[in-house]
Chain A
């Protein structure tokens, strides 16, 4: 059981890191981009905008 927990923790740290909100934000942003693209809207701007917002929020929290 201990190995399973440490294996899971390793992958969590590896992929998500110390700010899970940023990772969750990426998933939401991709979902929104896919939804807009399916509606025929040009979506090249959505992910850059999402990254700027996510980075802003994450850095603001970290620098408090």
Chain B
């Protein structure tokens, strides 16, 4: 039950973050190059992702569970540490915040100035931009859904979380037709980093032959540890940043 809730929530959050980024690219492509090419590119990418998930999902279910947890736990941990590291650096002012408005403006400018090359009534640049954006962001979603789902023995449950994110982000995207700049993306990314790292610690330990006191309930303990650790690093780095600014001000 505990792991199931974590599973749906993690798949939902991670998918929502990636889909917000994909939406920004599709919108920039649609506005600058025409909606037809952009939507065909998006549909082609969704199809490619469905093929990848359909091929890899069942294949992973035949791998022994402990081996799967070891590999997936390790991958999630390297993945989670990347997210967490960036989120901590953003929260403490060492890295610029992710700004969907700025990314949208940049994508739009590039798309508007690119040369037009039409094949079969489809603008090739608009198609490729949309296809690549959705495929690359979607691959991360597919990776999370497949690995989380297969390790917990329930790909459909992980897919429910991802599908809920898709409905929400696509629904809001169609309604506002603008990048979802108001989504607290940096906070969401922090949450995803925490979730990925938590699952990574939990599964890699089990995969390596260890066991947790309290079994699945230990996930809460690992989660609390990762949150506390991240908060500590943010607090320390904020202090370092403040001290450096004061020192730079004193020198000026």
Q: Report which A residues bind B (CB closer than 8 A).
A: 14-19, 22-23, 26-27, 29-30, 33-34, 37-38, 42-44, 46-48, 51-52, 54-56, 58-59, 62-63
Contact = CB atoms under 8 A, between A and B. Distances in A.
16 contacts: A14-B139, A15-B75, A18-B82, A19-B85, A26-B204, A43-B210, A47-B204, A47-B208, A51-B226, A52-B229, A55-B81, A55-B84, A55-B88, A58-B85, A62-B85, A63-B92
Question: What is the size category of the interface that chain B forms with chain A?
Answer: 35 or more
A15 B208 CA distance: 20
Judged by DSSP, the binding face of A is helix
Judged by DSSP, the binding face of B is helix
Nearest to A13: B82
Q: What 4 pairs across the A-B complex have the smallest Cβ distances?
A: A37-B209, A43-B210, A17-B82, A34-B208
B201 A62 contact: no
Contacts of B207: 30
Contacts of A42: 210
B210 A37 contact: yes
A20 B240 CA distance: 25
Nearest to A40: B209
Given A34-B208, A46-B205, 6 more contacts: A18-B82, A44-B218, A51-B201, A58-B81, A62-B89, A63-B237
